[in-house]
Amino acid sequence: MRVLITGITGFAGSHLADILLERGDVELHGMERWRSKTDNIDHIKSKIVMHECDLRDASSIRKVLELSRPDRIFHLAAQSFVPTSWSAPAESLTTNIIGQLNIFEAVRHLGVNPWIQIAGSSEEYGMVYPDEIPIKESNPLRPLSPYAVSKVGQDLLAYQYHQSFKLNVVRTRGFNHTGPRRGNVFVESNFAQQIARIERGVQEPVIKVGNLKAKRDYTDVRDMVRAYWLALEKGEPGEVYNICSGTAFPIESVLQKLLGMSTVKVRVEQDPARMRPSDVELLQGDNGKFVARTGWKPQIGFDKTLRDLLEYWRERIGAYADRV
Protein backbone atom coordinates (compact mmCIF):
# COMPACT_ATOMS: atom_id res chain seq x y z
CA MET A 1 0.00 0.00 0.00
CA ARG A 2 1.28 3.47 -0.88
CA VAL A 3 0.74 6.11 1.79
CA LEU A 4 1.46 9.84 1.61
CA ILE A 5 1.81 11.90 4.79
CA THR A 6 1.71 15.67 4.42
CA GLY A 7 3.45 17.24 7.40
CA ILE A 8 5.66 14.18 7.86
CA THR A 9 8.50 16.29 9.28
CA GLY A 10 6.18 17.67 11.97
CA PHE A 11 5.11 16.34 15.33
CA ALA A 12 2.14 14.04 14.60
CA GLY A 13 3.39 13.27 11.08
CA SER A 14 6.67 11.87 12.34
CA HIS A 15 4.93 9.64 14.90
CA LEU A 16 2.52 8.37 12.25
CA ALA A 17 5.52 7.60 10.02
CA ASP A 18 7.07 5.58 12.87
CA ILE A 19 4.03 3.33 13.28
CA LEU A 20 3.46 2.90 9.55
CA LEU A 21 7.04 1.82 8.95
CA GLU A 22 6.74 -0.71 11.78
CA ARG A 23 3.89 -2.38 9.87
CA GLY A 24 6.25 -3.43 7.07
CA ASP A 25 3.55 -3.34 4.35
CA VAL A 26 3.58 0.37 3.53
CA GLU A 27 5.53 2.28 0.87
CA LEU A 28 5.78 5.60 2.65
CA HIS A 29 5.92 8.95 0.86
CA GLY A 30 6.40 12.29 2.57
CA MET A 31 6.72 15.93 1.64
CA GLU A 32 9.09 18.59 2.81
CA ARG A 33 9.37 22.23 2.00
CA TRP A 34 12.62 23.70 0.80
CA ARG A 35 14.91 23.94 3.85
CA SER A 36 12.40 22.30 6.25
CA LYS A 37 13.89 20.95 9.46
CA THR A 38 13.85 17.17 9.40
CA ASP A 39 15.15 16.26 12.89
CA ASN A 40 11.88 14.47 13.75
CA ILE A 41 12.37 11.94 10.97
CA ASP A 42 16.15 11.78 10.65
CA HIS A 43 16.06 8.28 12.23
CA ILE A 44 13.75 6.94 9.46
CA LYS A 45 14.33 9.28 6.52
CA SER A 46 16.18 6.65 4.50
CA LYS A 47 12.99 4.53 4.51
CA ILE A 48 10.73 7.30 3.21
CA VAL A 49 10.38 8.54 -0.37
CA MET A 50 10.62 12.28 0.19
CA HIS A 51 9.24 14.86 -2.25
CA GLU A 52 9.96 18.56 -2.22
CA CYS A 53 6.60 20.34 -2.18
CA ASP A 54 4.83 23.46 -1.02
CA LEU A 55 1.11 22.80 -0.57
CA ARG A 56 0.29 26.42 -1.31
CA ASP A 57 1.48 25.80 -4.86
CA ALA A 58 -1.08 23.74 -6.79
CA SER A 59 1.39 22.51 -9.41
CA SER A 60 3.73 21.32 -6.69
CA ILE A 61 1.22 18.99 -4.99
CA ARG A 62 -0.09 17.76 -8.34
CA LYS A 63 3.39 16.57 -9.21
CA VAL A 64 3.80 14.75 -5.87
CA LEU A 65 0.51 12.91 -6.36
CA GLU A 66 1.50 11.95 -9.90
CA LEU A 67 4.74 10.49 -8.64
CA SER A 68 3.48 8.83 -5.46
CA ARG A 69 -0.02 7.67 -6.56
CA PRO A 70 -1.05 7.09 -2.93
CA ASP A 71 -3.81 4.73 -1.79
CA ARG A 72 -4.09 6.76 1.40
CA ILE A 73 -3.26 10.35 2.28
CA PHE A 74 -2.91 11.64 5.82
CA HIS A 75 -3.16 15.41 5.62
CA LEU A 76 -1.31 16.66 8.69
CA ALA A 77 0.58 19.65 7.27
CA ALA A 78 -0.74 22.91 8.73
CA GLN A 79 0.02 26.16 10.44
CA SER A 80 -0.94 24.72 13.83
CA PHE A 81 -0.15 27.38 16.45
CA VAL A 82 -3.16 29.47 17.50
CA PRO A 83 -1.26 32.71 18.39
CA THR A 84 0.53 32.74 15.00
CA SER A 85 -2.89 32.85 13.38
CA TRP A 86 -3.45 36.27 14.94
CA SER A 87 -0.09 37.65 13.83
CA ALA A 88 -0.34 36.05 10.36
CA PRO A 89 -4.03 35.33 9.72
CA ALA A 90 -3.88 35.35 5.92
CA GLU A 91 -0.91 33.00 5.90
CA SER A 92 -2.68 30.60 8.29
CA LEU A 93 -5.87 30.57 6.21
CA THR A 94 -3.96 30.12 2.96
CA THR A 95 -1.73 27.32 4.19
CA ASN A 96 -4.55 25.41 5.86
CA ILE A 97 -7.53 25.92 3.56
CA ILE A 98 -5.97 26.57 0.15
CA GLY A 99 -3.32 23.93 0.83
CA GLN A 100 -6.06 21.37 1.30
CA LEU A 101 -8.03 22.65 -1.70
CA ASN A 102 -4.90 22.08 -3.79
CA ILE A 103 -4.74 18.43 -2.64
CA PHE A 104 -8.41 17.84 -3.46
CA GLU A 105 -8.12 19.48 -6.88
CA ALA A 106 -4.97 17.53 -7.68
CA VAL A 107 -6.76 14.29 -6.74
CA ARG A 108 -9.67 15.19 -9.02
CA HIS A 109 -7.40 16.29 -11.84
CA LEU A 110 -5.52 12.98 -11.76
CA GLY A 111 -8.74 10.96 -11.63
CA VAL A 112 -7.58 8.93 -8.62
CA ASN A 113 -9.61 8.34 -5.46
CA PRO A 114 -7.37 7.73 -2.46
CA TRP A 115 -8.72 7.62 1.07
CA ILE A 116 -7.90 10.94 2.70
CA GLN A 117 -7.79 11.75 6.40
CA ILE A 118 -8.34 15.41 7.20
CA ALA A 119 -6.96 16.56 10.54
CA GLY A 120 -9.49 18.95 11.99
CA SER A 121 -9.30 20.22 15.55
CA SER A 122 -11.25 20.62 18.77
CA GLU A 123 -10.47 24.34 18.36
CA GLU A 124 -13.32 24.34 15.82
CA TYR A 125 -15.79 24.10 18.73
CA GLY A 126 -14.26 27.25 20.25
CA MET A 127 -16.79 28.86 22.57
CA VAL A 128 -18.22 25.88 24.41
CA TYR A 129 -20.72 26.25 27.28
CA PRO A 130 -20.44 24.12 30.42
CA ASP A 131 -23.76 22.38 29.70
CA GLU A 132 -22.36 21.19 26.32
CA ILE A 133 -19.65 19.07 27.98
CA PRO A 134 -18.55 16.47 26.90
CA ILE A 135 -18.52 17.89 23.39
CA LYS A 136 -20.10 15.77 20.69
CA GLU A 137 -19.48 16.12 16.95
CA SER A 138 -22.95 17.68 16.64
CA ASN A 139 -22.02 20.66 18.85
CA PRO A 140 -22.17 24.06 17.11
CA LEU A 141 -18.82 25.30 15.78
CA ARG A 142 -18.03 28.72 17.29
CA PRO A 143 -14.37 29.31 16.35
CA LEU A 144 -12.45 31.92 18.38
CA SER A 145 -9.27 32.41 16.33
CA PRO A 146 -8.25 32.60 12.67
CA TYR A 147 -6.62 29.19 13.21
CA ALA A 148 -9.94 27.75 14.36
CA VAL A 149 -11.70 29.30 11.37
CA SER A 150 -9.10 27.70 9.09
CA LYS A 151 -9.82 24.29 10.63
CA VAL A 152 -13.58 24.79 10.22
CA GLY A 153 -12.82 25.67 6.59
CA GLN A 154 -10.80 22.49 6.11
CA ASP A 155 -13.45 20.39 7.81
CA LEU A 156 -16.34 21.77 5.75
CA LEU A 157 -14.36 21.73 2.52
CA ALA A 158 -13.76 18.03 3.10
CA TYR A 159 -17.47 17.49 3.74
CA GLN A 160 -18.33 19.39 0.57
CA TYR A 161 -15.83 17.52 -1.63
CA HIS A 162 -17.20 14.26 -0.34
CA GLN A 163 -20.78 15.32 -1.11
CA SER A 164 -20.00 16.89 -4.47
CA PHE A 165 -17.34 14.56 -5.87
CA LYS A 166 -17.54 11.42 -3.68
CA LEU A 167 -13.99 11.87 -2.44
CA ASN A 168 -13.23 9.23 0.21
CA VAL A 169 -12.55 11.68 2.98
CA VAL A 170 -12.68 10.96 6.72
CA ARG A 171 -12.58 13.99 9.01
CA THR A 172 -11.03 13.78 12.47
CA ARG A 173 -11.34 16.48 15.13
CA GLY A 174 -8.26 15.89 17.23
CA PHE A 175 -8.24 17.36 20.72
CA ASN A 176 -4.85 18.37 22.21
CA HIS A 177 -2.15 15.74 21.83
CA THR A 178 1.37 15.70 23.08
CA GLY A 179 4.48 13.65 23.78
CA PRO A 180 8.10 13.57 22.61
CA ARG A 181 8.91 15.97 19.70
CA ARG A 182 6.06 18.32 20.57
CA GLY A 183 6.91 21.84 19.36
CA ASN A 184 8.16 24.13 22.11
CA VAL A 185 5.52 26.80 21.48
CA PHE A 186 2.70 24.62 22.82
CA VAL A 187 1.96 24.98 26.49
CA GLU A 188 2.87 21.61 28.04
CA SER A 189 5.96 21.29 25.87
CA ASN A 190 7.01 24.86 26.59
CA PHE A 191 6.68 24.28 30.36
CA ALA A 192 8.61 20.98 30.12
CA GLN A 193 11.36 22.70 28.13
CA GLN A 194 11.56 25.54 30.67
CA ILE A 195 11.83 23.03 33.54
CA ALA A 196 14.58 21.11 31.73
CA ARG A 197 16.44 24.37 31.09
CA ILE A 198 16.15 25.36 34.75
CA GLU A 199 17.40 21.91 35.81
CA ARG A 200 20.38 22.38 33.50
CA GLY A 201 21.12 25.85 34.89
CA VAL A 202 20.59 27.66 31.56
CA GLN A 203 17.44 29.49 32.68
CA GLU A 204 16.78 31.32 35.95
CA PRO A 205 14.18 29.50 38.08
CA VAL A 206 11.23 31.48 36.76
CA ILE A 207 8.56 29.84 34.60
CA LYS A 208 6.68 32.15 32.26
CA VAL A 209 3.03 31.27 31.72
CA GLY A 210 -0.13 32.53 30.07
CA ASN A 211 -3.76 31.65 30.93
CA LEU A 212 -3.58 28.77 33.44
CA LYS A 213 -7.35 28.52 33.89
CA ALA A 214 -8.10 27.05 30.45
CA LYS A 215 -8.91 23.32 30.40
CA ARG A 216 -7.74 20.87 27.76
CA ASP A 217 -8.41 17.21 26.93
CA TYR A 218 -5.04 15.55 26.21
CA THR A 219 -4.23 12.36 24.32
CA ASP A 220 -0.76 10.90 23.80
CA VAL A 221 0.42 11.57 20.24
CA ARG A 222 1.15 7.85 19.79
CA ASP A 223 -2.50 7.06 20.55
CA MET A 224 -3.61 9.93 18.33
CA VAL A 225 -1.75 8.65 15.24
CA ARG A 226 -3.12 5.14 15.81
CA ALA A 227 -6.52 6.78 15.71
CA TYR A 228 -5.70 8.51 12.41
CA TRP A 229 -4.79 5.15 10.90
CA LEU A 230 -8.01 3.56 12.20
CA ALA A 231 -10.01 6.50 10.84
CA LEU A 232 -9.08 5.40 7.32
CA GLU A 233 -9.27 1.66 8.09
CA LYS A 234 -12.73 1.77 9.62
CA GLY A 235 -14.18 5.28 9.39
CA GLU A 236 -17.14 6.13 7.18
CA PRO A 237 -16.32 8.39 4.24
CA GLY A 238 -17.66 11.92 4.67
CA GLU A 239 -18.07 11.46 8.44
CA VAL A 240 -16.44 13.40 11.26
CA TYR A 241 -15.04 11.93 14.49
CA ASN A 242 -13.76 13.45 17.73
CA ILE A 243 -10.45 11.95 18.87
CA CYS A 244 -9.90 12.61 22.56
CA SER A 245 -9.50 10.99 25.95
CA GLY A 246 -12.70 12.42 27.44
CA THR A 247 -10.91 13.93 30.46
CA ALA A 248 -9.93 17.58 30.79
CA PHE A 249 -7.19 19.13 32.96
CA PRO A 250 -6.73 22.81 33.81
CA ILE A 251 -3.40 24.06 32.40
CA GLU A 252 -2.46 24.97 35.99
CA SER A 253 -2.58 21.27 36.90
CA VAL A 254 -0.50 20.34 33.83
CA LEU A 255 2.16 22.72 35.15
CA GLN A 256 1.91 21.22 38.65
CA LYS A 257 2.20 17.67 37.29
CA LEU A 258 5.38 18.60 35.40
CA LEU A 259 6.85 20.41 38.41
CA GLY A 260 6.07 17.30 40.49
CA MET A 261 8.37 15.32 38.16
CA SER A 262 11.32 17.59 38.95
CA THR A 263 13.12 18.76 42.06
CA VAL A 264 13.61 22.36 40.94
CA LYS A 265 11.97 25.15 42.92
CA VAL A 266 10.52 27.81 40.62
CA ARG A 267 8.59 31.04 40.66
CA VAL A 268 5.64 31.16 38.26
CA GLU A 269 5.23 34.47 36.43
CA GLN A 270 2.45 35.52 34.07
CA ASP A 271 3.76 36.89 30.79
CA PRO A 272 1.18 39.25 29.18
CA ALA A 273 2.53 38.31 25.74
CA ARG A 274 1.29 34.75 26.35
CA MET A 275 -2.33 35.86 26.84
CA ARG A 276 -4.68 35.59 23.82
CA PRO A 277 -7.26 38.07 22.49
CA SER A 278 -9.86 35.33 23.04
CA ASP A 279 -8.98 31.96 24.52
CA VAL A 280 -10.88 28.70 24.32
CA GLU A 281 -11.54 28.05 28.01
CA LEU A 282 -12.99 24.57 28.02
CA LEU A 283 -12.38 21.58 25.76
CA GLN A 284 -13.50 18.15 26.88
CA GLY A 285 -14.62 15.76 24.20
CA ASP A 286 -16.90 12.79 23.77
CA ASN A 287 -15.09 10.07 21.81
CA GLY A 288 -18.06 7.66 21.79
CA LYS A 289 -18.76 7.88 18.05
CA PHE A 290 -15.17 7.03 17.09
CA VAL A 291 -14.79 4.30 19.73
CA ALA A 292 -18.04 2.64 18.65
CA ARG A 293 -16.95 2.68 15.00
CA THR A 294 -13.31 1.62 15.35
CA GLY A 295 -12.75 0.09 18.80
CA TRP A 296 -9.96 2.65 19.46
CA LYS A 297 -9.02 3.30 23.08
CA PRO A 298 -6.22 5.53 24.31
CA GLN A 299 -3.53 3.30 25.87
CA ILE A 300 -1.02 5.76 27.31
CA GLY A 301 -1.94 7.68 30.47
CA PHE A 302 -1.35 11.42 30.75
CA ASP A 303 1.33 11.13 33.45
CA LYS A 304 3.47 8.84 31.28
CA THR A 305 3.01 11.19 28.33
CA LEU A 306 4.22 14.15 30.37
CA ARG A 307 7.14 12.18 31.79
CA ASP A 308 8.22 11.13 28.27
CA LEU A 309 7.92 14.75 27.13
CA LEU A 310 10.05 16.03 30.00
CA GLU A 311 12.63 13.31 29.32
CA TYR A 312 12.69 14.35 25.66
CA TRP A 313 13.55 17.92 26.66
CA ARG A 314 16.13 16.77 29.23
CA GLU A 315 17.90 14.76 26.52
CA ARG A 316 17.81 17.57 23.97
CA ILE A 317 18.97 20.19 26.41
CA GLY A 318 21.73 17.88 27.59
CA ALA A 319 22.91 17.53 24.01
CA TYR A 320 22.51 21.18 22.97
CA ALA A 321 22.68 23.09 26.27
CA ASP A 322 24.35 26.09 24.67
CA ARG A 323 21.80 26.41 21.87
CA VAL A 324 18.35 26.05 23.52
Which one, 71 or 137, has the nearer CB to ligand GDD?
137
Nearest C-alpha neighbor of 240 from the set 303, 179, 160: 160
Nearest-angstrom CA–CA distance, 222 and 305? 9
Nearest-angstrom CA–CA distance, 117 and 4? 11
Q: Among 1-9, 46-54, 158-166, 206-214, which window interacts with ligand GDD (CB under 6 A)? A: 206-214
Nearest C-alpha neighbor of 139 from the set 150, 156, 149, 127: 127
Q: Which residues, 7 to 66, sit near ligand GDD by CB under 6 A?
A: none
Strand partners, 170: 117
74 Ramachandran zone, left/alpha/beta (phi>0; psi -120 to 50): beta
Q: How far is the CB of 175 from ligand GDD (least distance, A)?
A: 5
Element (H, E) at 5: strand 2-6
Q: How far is the CB of 80 from ligand GDD (least distance, A)?
A: 4
Contact with ligand GDD (CB under 6 A) among 30, 153, 179, 210:
210
Which one, 237 or 250, has the nearer CB to ligand GDD?
250
Per DSSP, helices labelled H in the chain are: 11-23, 58-68, 82-87, 89-93, 99-110, 146-165, 187-200, 221-234, 251-260, 288-294, 302-319
Element (H, E) at 50: strand 49-52
Contact with ligand GDD (CB under 6 A) among 211, 238, 247, 288:
211
Q: How far is the CB of 288 from ligand GDD (least distance, A)?
A: 18
Q: Among 18-26, 183-191, 286-294, 301-309, which window interacts with ligand GDD (CB under 6 A)? A: 183-191
Contact with ligand GDD (CB under 6 A) among 216, 222, 226, 316:
216
Q: How far is the CB of 77 from ligand GDD (least distance, A)?
A: 12
* Residues ≥6 apart with Cβ < 8 Å to 46: none
Q: Which residues, 277 to 296, sit near ligand GDD by CB under 6 A?
A: 279, 283
Regarding 251 and contact with ligand GDD (CB under 6 A), the answer is yes
Regarding 82 and contact with ligand GDD (CB under 6 A), the answer is yes
Decide: helix, strand or coil at residue 236: coil
Answer for the pair 305, 249: CB distance below 8 angstroms, yes or no. no
Q: Contact letters (x/-) for ligand GDD, 108-147, by CB under 6 A?
A: -------------xxx------------------------
Which one, 283 or 309, has the nearer CB to ligand GDD?
283
Task: Give contact residues for ligand GDD (rule: CB under 6 A).
Answer: 80, 82, 121-123, 175-176, 185-187, 190, 209-212, 214, 216, 251, 274, 276, 279, 283
